[in-house]
Structure 1
Amino acid sequence: MSKSPMYNQSVGSVWTRPLDDSTQLVYILTDSSACHLSQPRDFCCISTQSKQGGLHVLAMQSVFEESLPRPSVDAIRGEMLPSCWILQPVTRGGQELTRVIYLLQVDIGTPSFPQRLLNTVARRQAGVIADLDVFLAS
C-alpha cells in the first residue's frame, strides 16, 4: 500500500501501521483533481494480505480506529467498502502471465462525481492496472 502513490495518480499519500505480519491500518489521502473533484478525499482502512501458492490477495475496508487521523476540514472522509486486488499466475501459450482482478468500491462522500464524468473516472481507475504494470516493469 505504501508504494501506491508511485503508480496511482489519484493517491496523494499513504500512511500505514502494521498490526501483524499480514494486516495493517492504512490512511489514504487522495488527489482528487485528476477525477475532477475540488476537495481531496481521505480513507481510514484496514488492509490484509494473503499468499496461497502463487495466488496473492490484498483486501481492504474502511474502519473506525482511534489511532487513525480524525476527519478534517481539509478533506472529505470517504468510505472504502470491501475492495481487493487479486494477482493470479497463469500460463498462456507457454508464457507466464499474471491475471489481475481489481475491485474498488468506494463512497466518496458529498459532493460526488457529476454524472457526465462517471465514465471518465471509471476509465482512469481501470488505467491503474496498466500504470502498475509499467511501475513493476521499471
Structure 2
Amino acid sequence: MSAPEHEIRAAAESLLGSSSSYQQRPSPSSNLGYSVNSRPDFLLPADLVTGSRQSGRMSVVRRFFCLFVTFDFLFTGLMWLVCIMLVGGNMVDTLSQEIVRYNIHTSLFDVVLAAASRFTVLLLFYGLVYINHWCIIALSTAGTCLFLIAKVYLYNWSEASQPVFHVLLILVSFVIAWGEAWFLDFRVLPQEQQAQRFLQGVLFQPIDERTDIMYMVAAGGAGGLVQSRDFVNLRHWSLRGDCYVAAAVSVTHPDAPSGDKHIRGENGASCWVIRPAAGGGGGQSEVQWLLNTNLHGWIPQSVVDTGLVAAMLDYTAHLCKHVARMAGETS
C-alpha cells in the first residue's frame, strides 16, 4: 500500500474509532433506507428514476398517470362523437337531443360527463394537490362503476341506432376507470415511495450529528448475471483543518440481516478526503478516495478490481457534473 493510501486509511480508522458505538443505542424501527454506491444511470433501477421528483417537479410515473386520465376524457368524448355522427341527420338537432333535451334512457352524454368528472377530480388531487393516497381514485372508480351499471339497466337499447358502438363506449369507460385505479395503486404510489426512500437515504438511526448507520443496495448488472449487493455501513464525517474527511466501514445490525435477495457485501475501512487543490485557483478541489470493498460471490477478484476502478471513475465524473449543475442553479 502506498504512503497516501496508508495515510487515508489511518484517517478513516481514526475517524471510525472516535465515533460513538452504535451497539449501545436503542434499536430503531425496521423502516429501512436505501442508497446506491455507483453512478445512477447504471445501478439505479428505471422505476426509481421514473418515481423520483427532480427539483420538485412531478415524477415521470405520475405525469404519465395524468396523461392517461386526460386520454380517458378525450377518448371517451371522441367515441361519443362517433356515435353521434353515425346517427345521421342534422348534427345540430342530434346534439340538442343529446345535451339540451338530455334523457338518461336515450342519451350517452352522461358517459362523457362521467369521464369529465374523473378528469377534473383526479388531476386536481393527484396533479395539483399531489396527494399520495388511493382513496380518491377508489371513490372515482367506484362511482363510475355504479353509474355505468345503472346506465346499462336504464338505457333504452331497442331505440339505439348503433347499439354496438354504444356498448363499446360504456365498456371502454368501465375498463379505463379500472385501469386508472390499477396504475395509480400498483405503479405510481409504490414507485414514488420506493424512490423517495432510496434517493433520500433514510437512515436506520443517527448516532450523532456526524455519525450514522445506512443500509445500501447496489443493483445487479451484466443483464442479471451479476446479482445485486447490499451493505450495512457505519459512516462518520468530519472537517479536519482544510480537509473534509468521510469514512465508512461495514457493521452488522439486527434490522438488516443478510437475506437471499441480495449478496451481502463487506466494506473495510474506506475513506474520502477532499481538500483545496494545490494553487487554489478556480475553486477546484483534490479528491482522494480509498475504496476497500469485498463483493463476495463467484466473481474473480481481478474482474472485481477492474470493475471497481471503472465505477470509481464514472462516479467521480457524475459527481463533477452534479456539482457543476448545483453551482449553476445557485448562481
- Which structure 2 residue ranges, 5 or more long, are not aligned? 1-32, 46-197, 326-331
TM-score of the pair, normalised by structure 2? 0.36
**2:236 is matched with which residue?**
48
Moved over 6 A (4+): none
Task: Spell out the pairing of 1:53-68 with structure 2 (5 A cutoff).
Answer: 53-67=241-255
Alignment of 1:1-138 (within 5 A): 5=36, 8-9=39-40, 10=43, 13=198, 14-16=201-203, 17-33=205-221, 37-67=225-255, 69-92=256-279, 94-113=281-300, 115=302, 118-138=305-325
| 2: CA distance, partners of 1:115 / 1:41 | 18
Query: SS state of the match for residue 61, structure 1?
Result: strand
Task: Give me the whole-angstrom Cα distance separating, in 2, the residues matched to 1:6 and 1:38.
Answer: 15
Alignment size in residue pairs: 136
Q: 1:15 to 1:50 in 2, by over 3 A?
A: same
Assess if the C-alpha contact under 8 Å between 2:270 and 2:292 holds in 1.
yes
Whichever structure has more strand as a proportion of its residues is 1
Q: Distance in 2 between matches of 1:56 and 1:25?
A: 19
- Which is bigger in relative contact order (C-alpha 8 A, separation at least 6)? 2
Indicate the structure with greater helix content: 2
* Closer/same/farther in 2, CA of residues 3 and 90 from structure 1, 3 Å limit: farther
1:109 aligned counterpart, secondary structure = coil
What's the TM-score once normalised by structure 1's chain length? Answer: 0.80
CA contact 2:237–2:245 (8 Å) conserved in 1: yes
Give distance in 2, aligned partners of 1:133 and 1:4: 19
Percent of pairs with identical residues: 24
CA contact 2:39–2:311 (8 Å) conserved in 1: no
CA contact (8 A) 1:7 1:135 kept: no
Select between 47-56 and 79-88 the one with higher mean Cα deviation.
Answer: 47-56
Considering only aligned residues, what root-mean-square deviation do their CA atoms show, in Å?
3.0
